[in-house]
Amino acid sequence: MAFSGNPAQGARGGDHTTGSGLALFVNGSNNSSVVFWEQTVTVTPNATYDFTAWGTLWFGGASTQKLKMDGSDVGSLAISTAQDAWAENDMQWTSGAATSATFHLINASTQFSSNDFALDDLTLTSQVGAVPVPASLQVLLGGLALLGGMTGLRKRNH
């Protein structure tokens, strides 16, 4: 069972970002196959992505969640034993030939009670950096600039 909580509506602690916004508060299941969050996203083939999520214990002891992509384990998110103390979790995933991916978060802590947590600011960002300008294009642009400068000089001399 999962719901979006707001302290003004009785959810203790608030979100990670402002302390007064929305977050995903989860009443953890004792069934380790229950998906409590999933989303399908478009991805670039053969790119590496960083998945980040902030988590906190809402009630009970330490909690662990699994991140899966299309059914394969990507990693685990460990939730602190300190209530209302947000901790960042990071992991990487490489897309392979995929152009879309479905991410699933599953509660791996199967105790019947004391298994409640909150997640916030879930992000997936590509590690693709700036694409370098090819050397041939740099030479072309340099040549055009030189040509433009020579044309300006020629007009001034006439």
pLDDT band at 77 (very low <50, low <70, confident <90, very high): confident
How many angstroms separate the CA atoms of 40 and 59, rounded? Answer: 29
How many angstroms separate the CA atoms of 31 and 38, rounded? Answer: 17
Q: Please indicate, yes or no, if residue 152 is contained in any of the structural domains.
A: no
Q: Please indicate, yes or no, if residue 86 is contained in any of the structural domains.
A: yes
Indicate the burial class of 117 (C-beta count within 10 angstroms; 0-12, 13-18, 19 or more).
Answer: buried
Q: Please indicate, yes or no, if residue 144 is contained in any of the structural domains.
A: no
Average pLDDT for 130-149:
42
Q: Please indicate, yes or no, if residue 77 is contained in any of the structural domains.
A: yes
Is the C-alpha dihedral spanning 88, 70, 116, 21 positive or negative? positive
Q: Please indicate, yes or no, if residue 139 is contained in any of the structural domains.
A: no
Predicted confidence at residue 1, as pLDDT, reads 42
Predicted confidence at residue 95, as pLDDT, reads 92
Q: What is the distance between the terminal CA atoms of the chain, rounded to a whole angstrom? A: 81
Predicted confidence at residue 73, as pLDDT, reads 92
Answer yes or no: is pLDDT of 102 > 90.
yes
For residue 46, give its domain range. Answer: 2-132
How many angstroms separate the CA atoms of 56 and 25, rounded? Answer: 9
Q: Are 45 and 98 in contact (CB under 8 A)?
A: yes
Task: Give alpha helix (H) positions in the chain.
Answer: 135-157
Which of helix, strand or coil describes residue 157? Answer: helix
Indicate the burial class of 11 (C-beta count within 10 angstroms; 0-12, 13-18, 19 or more).
Answer: middle
Q: Please indicate, yes or no, if residue 155 is contained in any of the structural domains.
A: no
The number of distinct structural domains making up the chain is 1
pLDDT band at 141 (very low <50, low <70, confident <90, very high): very low
Q: Please indicate, yes or no, if residue 25 is contained in any of the structural domains.
A: yes
Q: Give the domain CATH number at 92.
A: 2.60.120.260
Answer yes or no: is pLDDT of 100 > 90.
yes
Q: Please indicate, yes or no, if residue 138 is contained in any of the structural domains.
A: no
Average pLDDT for 67-73:
89
